[in-house]
Amino acid sequence: MTHKPRVLVHTSRQPIRWGDMDMLGHVNNTVFFRYCEQARIEWTYGLHPEGDAYAGTGPVVVNASCTFLLPLVYPGEVEVRMYLGDPGRTSVGSFYEILKDGAKYADGSAKMVWIDLATGRSVPLPEPVSARLRALESAEGHAAQRG
């Protein structure tokens, strides 16, 4: 399976908490989605250093998935790498790798749509996001021409 080009936009380090584990002695599957969510929120706030990440417009998740590769256990820290790819006019795919001690424990994804928070209607991707994706699309176009 070939993947379309993706660009790394954020890396988040998060502690594994004792309470993240379930009765089976490993991090509950739902917590993997929280790890991805935290990385996505950190990235979103990073787009707005002035602190107004959700003033007027912002991303909403319209679908999310996770492939669990290995069980995570306490103690430790996860590294969540967030990538963007598959851009549209108002939406973008986000992709996640969840690692611990250099080993990959899960792959995740979530499609984000930018909306006007007052109306709930979709709006074009903000410039800081679309600029990164234009560079990605340009690289993809050059690769297709060489192919």
In tens, the pLDDT along 95-139 reads 999 999 999 999 999 999 999 999 999 999 988 888 878 776 666
Using a pLDDT cut of 70, give the percent of the chain over it. 89
Own/partner contacts of 141-146, CB < 8 Å, gap of 24 or more, are: 143/5
- Supply 78's token pair: 């996860």
- Supply 37's token pair: 């969510």
Specify the pLDDT at position 1: 46
Does this model's pTM top 0.85? My answer is: yes
Domains of the chain, first to last: 7-146 (3.10.129.10)
